[in-house]
Amino acid sequence: MPGIKDVAERAGLSIATVSRALSGKGNVSVRSKQRAQTAAADLGFVPSYHASSLASGRNHNVGVVVPSVHRWFFSSVVEGVSATLLDAGYDLTLYNVSGGEERRHSVLNDFLLRKRVDAVIAVSLELSTAEIQQLLAIHRPIVGIGGPLPGASTIRIDDSGIAEAAGRHLIQLGHSKIAHMTGDAAYDKDFRLPGTRQGGFKEAMRDAGLAVRPEWQVCADFTIQGAYASARRLLGGSVERPTAVFAASDEMAIGTILAARDFGLRIPQDLSVIGIDGHELGEVFGLTTIDQDARGQGALAVRRLLAGLEDGANTAAEDTEYPTSLVIRSSTAVPPAETVALQA
């Protein structure tokens, strides 16, 4: 069976150059890369990744830890991570810690400490300083997505700011009777996402001199089904209905739209709805949203990790605010005419 030395001799290149050319790592001219690939194909040479790992001390494998694989945001981040890793010649090992504290502890304090991954991406998980330091101590660089991690690099969005922007969008349209659908207490554990977005919404209302009505602050579980049930209670159980709903996620916004239709409410003539995410279904429902580009966040996390690995050092701790964009569609409009008349 031919080896890398045979490929190097046939291509007229050094073994080191052939290794870089076939692995995609390091700087190799286009001409040298083509010569190495042609020689390898002629000889039927297949690189041994096991041997490469032994030589480099790396496994070309990144561990990705997520709270759940069923939620849109997490799966979208994983898609961005996976595609970027594949392009770079890396494998992905996915750890789902939805089984509770015991599983989370096992992953962070056992599996990730084994010599199977070169680096770690933690998605929406607030790791402790001790958990981060024990990974860094064994040269496992970390990038977190979703919130600050002490001593590790982080990619996050301005959750308070975008929630304030969502509320401001509705207020600028003329709405004053605005409800907010937030996540329930279980989702406040890591980075306090529901509370942060609710705080941004309240800030927008306060700046406009508008009251935040307690009966219009409802909770759901970030799913379409959960939001549908909560929205039915909101829209059907109150003497006075809001004219707009700001949902803390697109799936909850979609659940709200479906519930509104049950009551014969037209979107947006009778009820405006806005969400946060950039979910693919948003276009189908004409949903106004703030797009956070979950796949792009995953891709950026990989690029940052690999840059550190190529430099042979832990990734520098850097907190990056990822850009978002307001996407206005047909689910938001001025409030009903009678409401505008009463305000005047």
At 57 the pLDDT is 56
Question: What is the rounded CA–CA span in Å between residue 328 and residue 247?
Answer: 15
Percent of the chain predicted with pLDDT > 90:
63
For residue 150, cis peptide bond before it (omega within 30 degrees of 0)? no
E strand or H helix that includes residue 226: helix 224-236
At 338 the pLDDT is 63
Question: What is the rounded CA–CA span in Å between residue 89 and residue 24?
Answer: 7
Sheet containing 288-291, strands listed edge to edge, beginning at the edge strand earlier in sequence? 217-220, 178-183, 244-247, 272-277, 288-291, 325-327
Residue with tokens 């690939």, as numbered in its chain = 37
Count of C-beta atoms within a 10 Å radius of residue 25: 18
Q: Assess contact for 186 and 175: CB atoms under 8 A.
A: no
At 342 the pLDDT is 47
Question: What is the rounded CA–CA span in Å between residue 220 and residue 183?
Answer: 5
At 190 the pLDDT is 79
At 46 the pLDDT is 73
At 344 the pLDDT is 44
Q: Assess contact for 254 and 275: CB atoms under 8 A.
A: yes
Per-residue pLDDT tens over the stretch 87-146? 888 899 999 998 788 888 889 888 888 778 999 999 999 999 999 999 988 888 999 999
Question: What is the rounded CA–CA span in Å between residue 314 and residue 137?
Answer: 10
Q: So where are the chain's domains? A: 4-47, 60-157+294-313, 159-291+327-343
Cβ-based neighbours of 202, under 8 Å, separated by 6 or more: 212
Instruction: For 113-166, give the DSSP string.
Output: GSTT-SEEEEES----HHHHHHHHHTT--EEEESS--TTSEEEE--HHHHHHHH
- C-alpha angle 280-283-286 in degrees, rounded to nearest 5: 140
> If pLDDT is split at 50, 70 and 90, which confidence band does 248 have?
very high
> Hey, which residues does 123 pair with through a beta bridge?
145
> If pLDDT is split at 50, 70 and 90, which confidence band does 45 have?
confident
| Residue closest to 228 by CA, chosen among 242, 218, 241, 238 | 218
Fold adopted by 60-157+294-313: Rossmann fold (3.40.50)
60-157+294-313 shares its CATH topology with 159-291+327-343: yes
- Checking 281-286 for CB contacts under 8 A at 24+ apart, the result is 281/250, 281/251, 281/254, 282/250, 282/253, 282/254, 282/327, 282/329, 283/329, 285/253, 285/254, 285/257, 285/331, 286/329, 286/330, 286/331
Per-residue pLDDT tens over the stretch 162-210? 999 999 999 999 999 999 999 987 777 778 999 999 999 999 999 999 9
DSSP conformational letter for 215? G
> If pLDDT is split at 50, 70 and 90, which confidence band does 55 have?
very low
Question: What is the rounded CA–CA span in Å between residue 317 and residue 309?
Answer: 14
Among the listed ranges 99-103, 222-226, 320-324, which one has the minimum average pLDDT value? 99-103
Q: Assess contact for 43 and 10: CB atoms under 8 A.
A: yes
pTM above 0.85, yes or no: no
CATH class label, 159-291+327-343 = alpha beta
Q: Which two tokens stand for residue 304?
A: 């940052």
DSSP conformational letter for 13? S
What is the pLDDT of the chain when averaged over all its residues? 89
